[in-house]
């Protein structure tokens, strides 16, 4: 790379803007292209941030309800939807506006529009006005992200059928909502609507919610989801949907239906069955970039595609489709462009489900270890033994460490309970730094906090946790 290299970043999500900002900080000439008014992408405009603003409100409503058990009763909440939407939009505007400012301060050229490749060193940018301008580059970073998947053969034209973007708009508070898909987006948005007073049904094709996460952790969350939802249908599929007066008539099929009617009409249906990569960037076929059958752009460990001048990062290159993974890849791609010897090889990419309770994990999961036939020791600390958890009246959590019994190294961490999303950061550090159970056990954690559950899990591994009596089994 020469210091005057021109880097064009296509897509202004958390992958794209992180890459653009870093490239500018390293002295490169940078252009960032995105259709949005400001950088932000899915994460800030219609993903992580608006959903978490609404989940905060949902948490408050649920806690206020729960407070009756402690002798503090509030009346039923009155929801002013306009103000609620206003709060969410204010957060989004503040953050995206801030990114616009940061982009200007770094002297990045921000072009509002969509990019199409002409060849390995030039693009056409089409703006809002339909005008197309050519742009040459030394390097391009493709960060075009992903979009909601649709149910094959089932989609109908109906304003009552929503994807995550539509659900985040909060068009109204429907009396009934069917959430199709028991993954994290469906559960998070379903929790928001349930807290606002909607009767929510979740339908999931497989035998459990949150496929991929450890069952012992999911089971704790599932209990609560079953409480706040009208019904959770597992092993059940939606086989048809049609508009029916003021709602959508849905037909189900599957062994999990039990007594539940095969047909039911819902005021609204939210389809959240996963996301598809935006790999079909126009003109990419004029370069050597390879897009696989699932629509992901193929990259090596430096995030470089088969076309040496083009890198790709974020949701468009593969799972997990998470904002922090996208940003991290963005920084690695930029360092590679700068000529540094780098590789994207994390030991732990944390995943967080921001429901109540939160569920978070990083590194090796227990089920992965089982699938791989890898011998691990699992040290579990139940939150019923945590003073801090009891002060919150939330003894339903669990913290667990997945440990290599030979080296005592921490390979993975899983947590379910309020605040798990914050706590998992310590797990990431432990896994990345190659910490062992003694390191975690000997690090003094503040009392009374939920973070102690990590330290005490390590003590459980040695069979001498202060707050649980579980002597170590002799091998
Ligand atoms: P994106 O954020 O998808 O951005 C891509 C950008 O590229 C978009 O602005 C798009 O318009 C633009 N673009 C596409 N094609 C072109 C083109 N040809 N020219 C120019 N621009 C183009 N992740 C988390 O880590 N934590 C969460 O809590 C979380 N919650 C989520 C909640 C919801 C409801 C959703 C939908 C997603 C959530 N995600 C979460 C996922 C997260 O949003 C994505 O992983 C992240 O946004 C991916 O970043 P990215 O940079 O790869 O792409």
Nearest CA, atom 8, ligand 1: 41
Atom of ligand 1 nearest to the CA of 116: 18
Q: At what angle do helices 420-432 and 452-462 cross, to 10 degrees?
A: 50
What's the mean pLDDT in 160-182?
Answer: 97
407 lies in the same domain as 438: yes
CATH number, domain of 248, equals 3.50.50.60
The residue out of 311, 337, 363 marking a domain boundary is 337
Atom of ligand 1 nearest to the CA of 146: 3
Q: How is residue 8 annotated by DSSP? A: E
**Cα separation of 409 and 267, whole Å?**
51
Q: Provide the annotated active-site residues.
A: 447
**Cα separation of 137 and 228, whole Å?**
52
Please state the pTM of the whole predicted model: 0.97
Nearest CA, atom 19, ligand 1: 114
68 lies in the same domain as 114: yes
For the chain, the straight-line distance linking the first and the last C-alpha, in angstroms and rounded, comes to 56
Asked, for residue 102, whether it belongs to a domain, the answer is: yes
Asked, for residue 362, whether it belongs to a domain, the answer is: yes
Question: Does residue 5 register a pLDDT over 90?
Answer: no
123 lies in the same domain as 170: no
Atom of ligand 1 nearest to the CA of 16: 51
Label residue 128 by pLDDT band (50, 70, 90). Answer: confident
Question: What is the DSSP pairing of strand 310-312 with strand 231-233?
Answer: unpaired
Number of domains in the chain: 3
Could you list the beta-strand ranges (E) of 11-108: 29-34
Residues making up the chain, counted from first to last: 475
309 lies in the same domain as 449: no
Nearest CA, atom 23, ligand 1: 322
**Pocket mutation for ligand 1, best pick of 13, 54, 113, 186 (most atoms within 8 Å of C-beta):** 13
Label residue 1 by pLDDT band (50, 70, 90). Answer: low
The residue out of 273, 293, 311 marking a domain boundary is 273
Give residue 156's pLDDT.
86
Q: How confident is the model over 229-274, as pLDDT tens digits?
A: 999 999 999 999 999 988 999 999 999 999 999 999 999 999 999 9
What's the mean pLDDT in 418-423?
Answer: 98
Question: Does residue 475 register a pLDDT over 60?
Answer: no
The residue out of 273, 297, 326 marking a domain boundary is 273
285 lies in the same domain as 139: yes
Q: How confident is the model over 149-158, as pLDDT tens digits?
A: 998 788 888 9
Higher-scoring residue by pLDDT: 155, 468: 468
Q: Residue 453 is part of which domain span?
A: 351-462
Question: Does residue 206 register a pLDDT over 60?
Answer: yes
Pocket, ligand 1, Cβ cutoff 6 A: 10-16, 33-36, 41-43, 47-48, 51, 114-115, 143-146, 164, 185, 278, 281, 314-316, 321-324, 326, 354
* Ligand 1: centre distance to CA 180 (Å): 21
* Ligand 1: centre distance to CA 94 (Å): 18
Complete DSSP assignment for 251-318: EEESGGGTTS-SEEEESEEEE-S-EEE----TTGGGSS--B-TTSPBP--TTSB-SSTTEEE-GGGG-
* Ligand 1: centre distance to CA 254 (Å): 33
Label residue 470 by pLDDT band (50, 70, 90). Answer: confident
**Cα separation of 107 and 20, whole Å?**
11
Asked, for residue 8, whether it belongs to a domain, the answer is: yes
Q: How confident is the model over 53-90, as pLDDT tens digits?
A: 999 999 999 999 999 999 999 999 999 999 999 999 99
What's the mean pLDDT in 396-410?
Answer: 98
What's the mean pLDDT in 134-148?
Answer: 98
286 lies in the same domain as 208: no
**Can you say whether residue 212 is alpha, beta or left, with left for phi > 0 and alpha for psi between -120 and 50 degrees?**
left
Give residue 4's pLDDT.
64
Asked, for residue 343, whether it belongs to a domain, the answer is: no
330 lies in the same domain as 397: no
Question: Does residue 473 register a pLDDT over 80?
Answer: no
Asked, for residue 174, whether it belongs to a domain, the answer is: yes
Asked, for residue 154, whether it belongs to a domain, the answer is: no
Asked, for residue 186, whether it belongs to a domain, the answer is: yes
* Ligand 1: centre distance to CA 450 (Å): 31
What's the mean pLDDT in 382-407?
Answer: 97
Q: How is residue 383 annotated by DSSP? A: G
* Ligand 1: centre distance to CA 187 (Å): 19
Question: What is the DSSP pairing of strand 410-417 with strand 358-363?
Answer: antiparallel
60 lies in the same domain as 128: yes
* Of 408, 406, 410, 392, nearest in space to 448 by CA: 392
410 lies in the same domain as 307: no
129 lies in the same domain as 201: no
CATH number, domain of 436, equals 3.30.390.30
269 lies in the same domain as 283: no
141 lies in the same domain as 37: yes
């Amino acid at each position: 790379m020469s210091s005057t290299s021109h880097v064009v970043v296509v897509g202004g999500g958390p992958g794209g803007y992180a890459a653009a900002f870093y490239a500018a900080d390293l002295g490169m000439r940078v252009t960032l292209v995105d259709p949005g008014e400001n950088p932000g992408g899915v994460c800030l405009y219609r993903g992580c941030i608006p959903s978490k603003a609404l989940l905060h409100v949902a948490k408050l409503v649920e806690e206020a309800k729960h407070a009756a058990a402690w002798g503090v009763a509030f009346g039923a909440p009155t929801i002013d939807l306009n103000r609620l939407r206003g709060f969410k939009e204010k957060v989004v505007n503040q953050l995206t506006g801030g990114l616009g400012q940061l982009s200007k301060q770094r002297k990045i050229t921000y072009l509002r529009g969509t990019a199409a490749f002409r060849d390995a060193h030039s693009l056409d940018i089409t703006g809002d006005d339909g005008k197309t301008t050519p742009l040459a580059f030394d390097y391009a970073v493709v960060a075009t992200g992903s979009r909601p998947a649709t149910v094959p053969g089932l989609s109908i034209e109906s304003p009552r059928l929503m994807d995550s973007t539509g659900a985040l708009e909060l068009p109204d508070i429907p009396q009934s909502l069917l959430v199709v898909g028991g993954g994290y987006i469906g559960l998070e948005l379903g929790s928001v609507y349930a807290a606002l007073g909607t009767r929510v049904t979740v339908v999931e094709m497989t035998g459990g919610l949150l496929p991929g996460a450890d069952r012992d952790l999911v089971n704790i969350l599932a209990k609560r989801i079953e409480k706040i939802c009208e019904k959770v249908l597992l092993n059940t599929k939606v086989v048809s949907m049609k508009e029916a007066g003021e709602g959508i008539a849905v037909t189900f099929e599957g062994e999990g239906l039990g007594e539940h009617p095969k047909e039911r009409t819902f005021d609204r249906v939210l389809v959240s069955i996963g996301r598809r990569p935006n790999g079909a960037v126009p003109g990419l076929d004029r370069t050597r970039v390879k897009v696989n059958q699932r629509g992901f752009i193929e990259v090596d460990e430096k995030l470089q595609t088969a076309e040496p001048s083009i890198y790709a990062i974020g949701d468009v290159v593969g799972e997990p489709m998470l904002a922090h993974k996208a940003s991290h890849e963005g920084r690695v791609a930029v360092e590679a462009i700068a000529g540094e010897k780098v590789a994207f090889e994390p030991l732990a990419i944390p995943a967080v489900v921001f429901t109540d309770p939160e569920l978070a994990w990083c590194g090796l999961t227990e089920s992965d270890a089982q699938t791989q036939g890898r011998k691990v020791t699992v040290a579990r600390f139940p939150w019923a033994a945590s003073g801090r958890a009891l002060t919150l009246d939330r003894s339903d959590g669990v913290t667990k460490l997945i440990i290599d019994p030979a080296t005592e190294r921490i390979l993975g961490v899983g947590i379910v309970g309020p605040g798990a999303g914050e706590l998992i950061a310590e797990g990431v550090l432990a896994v990345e730094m190659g910490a062992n159970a003694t390191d975690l056990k000997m690090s003094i954690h503040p009392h009374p906090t939920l973070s102690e559950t990590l330290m005490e899990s390590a003590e459980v591994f040695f069979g001498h946790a202060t707050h649980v009596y579980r002597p170590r089994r002799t091998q």
